[in-house]
Amino acid sequence: MGQTLYEKVWQEHLVQSGEGQLDQIFIDTHLIHEVTSPQAFSMLRDRGLPVRYPERTIATVDHIIPTDNVSRPFQDPEAEAMLQALESNVDEHQIRYFPIGSPEQGIVHVMAPEQGLIRPGMTVACGDSHTSTHGAFGAIAFGIGTSQVRDVLASQTLLMPKLKVRRIEVTGRLRAGVTAKDLILHIIGRLGAKGGVGFAYEYGGSAITKMTMTERMTLCNMSIEGGARCGYVNPDLVTLRYLAGRAFTPIDSIEALQERWLSYASDSDAHYDDRITVDGNRIEPMLTWGTSPDQSVSFKGRIPNSISLGDAKSYMGWQDNQPIAGTPVDVAFIGSCTNGRFEDFLLVSQAIKGHKVASSIKRALAVPGSSEVARRAEESGIADIFRDAGFEWRQPGCSMCLAMNPDRLLGNEICASSSNRNFKGRQGSPEGRTLLMSPLAVAAAAVTGKVSDPREVFKI
Ligand SMILES: CC(C)[C@H](C(=O)O)[C@@H](O)C(=O)O
Ligand code: SF4
State the distance from the centre of ligand 1 to the C-alpha of 198, rounded, in angstroms: 20
Give this prediction's pTM: 0.98
Neighbouring C-beta atoms of residue 37, cutoff 10 Å: 27
- Sketch out the chain's domains with CATH numbers: 5-276 (3.30.499.10), 286-458 (3.30.499.10)
Distance between CA atoms of residues 61 and 33, nearest Å: 5
Q: Which parts of the chain sit beneath pLDDT 50?
A: none
- Ligand minimally distant from the alpha carbon of residue 129: 1
Q: Measured from the CB, is residue 129 less than 6 Å from ligand 1?
A: yes
Collect all residues with Cβ–Cβ distance below 8 Å to 209 and sequence separation of at least 6.
236, 238
Using the mean position of ligand 2's atoms as its centre, give its distance from the Cα of residue 60 in Å.
13
Q: How far is the CA of 129 from the centre of ligand 2 (A)?
A: 9
Sheet with strand 14-16: strands edge to edge: 14-16, 22-26, 157-161
| 109 close to 143: Cβ distance less than 8 angstroms | no
**CB of 266 closer than 6 A to ligand 1?**
no
Q: What is the pLDDT of residue 20?
A: 81
- What is the distance in angstroms between the CA of the first residue and the CA of the last residue of the chain? 45
Q: How far is CA 171 from CA 200, 209, 280, 290, in A?
A: 20, 10, 5, 28
Burial of 365 (C-beta count, 10 Å sphere; 0-12/13-18/19+): buried
Radius of gyration of the chain (CA): 21
Distance, CA of 456 to CA of 460 (rounded, Å): 7
Which ligand sits closest to the CA of 338? 2
Give the E-state strand segments of 7-110 in sequence order: 14-16, 22-26, 29-32, 57-60, 96-98
332-376 pLDDT, tens per residue?
999 999 999 999 999 999 999 999 999 999 999 999 999 999 999
Q: pLDDT tens for residues 93-110?
A: 999 999 999 999 999 999
